[in-house]
Amino acid sequence: METLTYEVNDRVAEITIESPLANALSSTILTELNEILNELEAEASLKAVILKGEGKFFSAGADIKEFTEFQGGKENMAFKGQAVFDRIEQFHAPFIAAIHGAALGGGLELAMACHMRFVTKKAKIGLPELGLGIIPGFGGTQRLPRYVGDAKAYEMILTAEPVEGEEAAAIGLANQAVEEEELLDHVRRIAASIASKSKPSIEHVLRLVPNVYESTLNAGLKDEAARFEEVFRTEDASEGIKAFIEKRKPEFRDK
């Protein structure tokens, strides 16, 4: 791997973008991220993934130099980026983005594909593509309105002006804004809390929440009821209920 590293400990993976100076998203990063996803899919015990950037930024945009070599059709980098980000959004374990410094352009689009985003208070968050005479291509126009609403999405995209981390949290783009020195510890605590839960219940929640955007309320409720029954019959459900009655911590076996 030239631009990414990852490790797995205690059922949590940490992927680090290491592409100086700004961790700009390139075709190499997209290819390597896709390869890591292939490897993580084989990690049967995995329950959460942290995505972070090395150096001053999470990711300060896409690799502008590659734009000069842009080719259409199958070489369209937007299609490639969208395919990788869709895999993240549909992954069997939740992705948590730990954002410091800046998440701009493709960097924010990558973060928005994650299930959760935690930011530093002064981080710069935005989609500056219109300042270059182009538009977002990795899902920015589709995912941003889901988090902040249409009006704020129009404002952020059309002005190309970023917001700071605290505002990102206030408008729903980030889960929480914290001090920079607290970010990784905070995100690791969130990941550890998730990893302590039953794997079947985690996976069912990841399939249910997207129903809000992809189906009717009635269809979503029916899916929830069916999955509730399926989870209720697991060994972990029996253990969790028994542990609650006995006033102790459950010992889930992910079955």
Handedness of CA 184, 8, 59, 96 (dihedral sign): negative
CB atoms under 10 Å from CB of 252, counted, come to 20
Residues assigned a catalytic role: 109, 129
d(CA 174, CA 167): 9
CA atoms within a 13 Å half-sphere pointing along the CA-CB vector of 175: 16
Q: Beta 102-104 vs 124-126: how paired, if at all?
A: parallel
Report d(CA 92, CA 150) in Å as an integer.
29
> Rounded to whole angstroms, how far apart are CA atoms 237 and 52?
33
